[in-house]
């Protein structure tokens, strides 16, 4: 059950569900953090019930809030999960995550693909902007003049040698080939995607973006990983 609040300002609980970690914090009406971010490891197996249980423990540590925003690593349609490739269980397919969050914390909830949420936290709103999140998998989001193009899952598109983009630069690939070769692979992917989408800006986020070394192509920037939570406020800007 959510804590009661007398504040006139609307506060948002921002949740980020990832393949390795679950994170949460509370944001002000203008998107400013009102507390320290809290985090726990993603349970194994990461079933909906196990994830909801861990989220309950996280939320109990946070201030009161009026609504919920959640980033999820997969295709989301109107708050219902369609795919969850990096959580390792088919139980997510058809799971009404927005409804479950709303019922658990007695507040309205909205859910979006996690790369999309991160993009909302960093986009300028000018031209074509592309977001790649490098973590357990590879998330992807596209924005046109600030508007999100939903569910473009480039991470699962075939790339090279029978492997997808995600196979090439996801967390398991980093562990397999090491940081040096992984850095080269990320640049290879950028060399393919940038002439395809011709973005005005590219943002690299996710937990493994900090492992990138050396100069990056023009227009490419490493984003603060906290954007995956701060972008949650945009889900309520109709």
- pTM comes to 0.89
- Domain for residue 6, yes or no? no
Based on the domain organization, do 98 and 135 belong to the same domain? no
87 occurs within a structural domain: yes
Q: Which structural domain range is residue 46 located in?
A: 12-116+230-236
Q: Is residue 2 part of a domain?
A: no
Residues 110 and 135 in one domain: no
Q: Which of 15-19, 25-29, 67-71, 232-236 has the lowest mean pLDDT?
A: 232-236
Q: Hey, what's the torsion of the CAs at 134, 76, 65, 20, to 10 degrees?
A: -30
Report pLDDT for 201. Answer: 97
Q: What does the angle CA 213 – CA 216 – CA 220 come to, to the nearest 5 degrees? A: 125
Looking at the 3D structure of the chain, how many domains does it have?
Answer: 2
DSSP assignment of 178-217 equals: HHHHHHHHHHHHHHHHHHHH--SEEEEESTTGGG--S---
What mean pLDDT is predicted for residues 51-62? 97
Residues 132-176: tens digit of each pLDDT:
999 999 999 999 999 999 989 999 999 998 999 999 999 999 999
Task: Band the pLDDT of 82: cuts 50, 70, 90.
Answer: very high
Q: CATH number of the domain that 194 lies in?
A: 3.30.420.40
> Count of CB atoms within 10 A of residue 194's CB?
16
Q: Which tokens hold the place of 188?
A: 């290879």
What percent of the chain lies above the pLDDT cut of 90? 84
Kind plus residue range of the DSSP H or E element containing 24: strand 21-27
pLDDT of residue 228: 78
Instruction: Check whether residue 94 and residue 136 sit in a common domain.
Output: no
- Report pLDDT digits (tens) over 4-39: 555 588 999 999 999 999 999 999 998 899 999 999
156 in a structural domain:
yes
Same domain, 37 and 87: yes
Q: Are residues 152 and 110 in the same domain?
A: no
Q: Are residues 24 and 109 in the same domain?
A: yes
Q: What is the mean pLDDT of the chain?
A: 93
**142 shares a domain with 182:** yes
**What are the CA-CA distances from residue 54 to residues 22, 43, 151, 180 (Å)?**
8, 8, 26, 35
- Residue 96 sits in the same domain as residue 141: no
> Do 38 and 107 sit in the same domain of this protein?
yes
Same domain, 64 and 108: yes
Angle at 76 between CA 75 and CA 78, to 5 degrees: 155
Give the residue among 148, 143, 139, 142 at the shortest CA–CA distance from 110.
148
Distance (Å, rounded) from C-alpha 1 to C-alpha 17? 20
Higher pLDDT, 199 or 226: 199
pLDDT greater than 80 at residue 223: yes
pLDDT in tens, 112-126: 999 999 999 999 999
pLDDT-based confidence at residue 3 (cuts at 50, 70, 90): low
Tell me: do 159 and 97 sit in the same domain.
no
Say yes or no: 156 and 169 in one domain: yes
């Amino acid at each position: 059950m959510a804590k009661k609040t007398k504040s006139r300002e609307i506060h948002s609980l921002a949740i980020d569900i990832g393949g390795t970690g679950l994170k949460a914090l509370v944001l002000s009406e203008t998107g400013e953090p009102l507390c320290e971010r809290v985090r726990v490891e993603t349970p194994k197996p990461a079933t909906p019930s196990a994830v909801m249980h861990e989220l309950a423990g996280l939320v109990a540590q946070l201030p009161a809030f009026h609504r919920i925003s959640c980033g999820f690593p997969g295709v989301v349609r109107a708050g219902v999960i369609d795919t969850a490739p990096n959580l390792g269980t088919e139980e997510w397919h058809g799971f009404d995550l927005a409804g479950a969050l709303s019922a658990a914390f007695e507040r309205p909830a909205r859910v979006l693909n996690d790369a999309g949420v991160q993009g909302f936290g960093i986009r300028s709103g000018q031209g074509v902007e592309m977001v790649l999140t490098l973590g357990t998998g590879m998330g992807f989001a596209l924005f046109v003049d600030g508007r999100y193009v939903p569910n473009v899952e480039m991470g699962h598109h075939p790339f090279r040698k029978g492997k997808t983009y995600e196979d090439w630069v996801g967390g398991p690939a980093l562990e397999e080939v090491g940081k040096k070769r992984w850095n080269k692979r990320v640049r290879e992917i950028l060399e393919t995607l940038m002439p395809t989408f011709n973005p005005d800006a590219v943002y690299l986020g996710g937990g493994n973006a900090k492992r990138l070394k050396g100069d990056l192509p023009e227009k490419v920037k490493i984003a603060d990983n906290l954007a995956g939570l701060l972008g949650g406020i945009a889900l309520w800007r109709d």
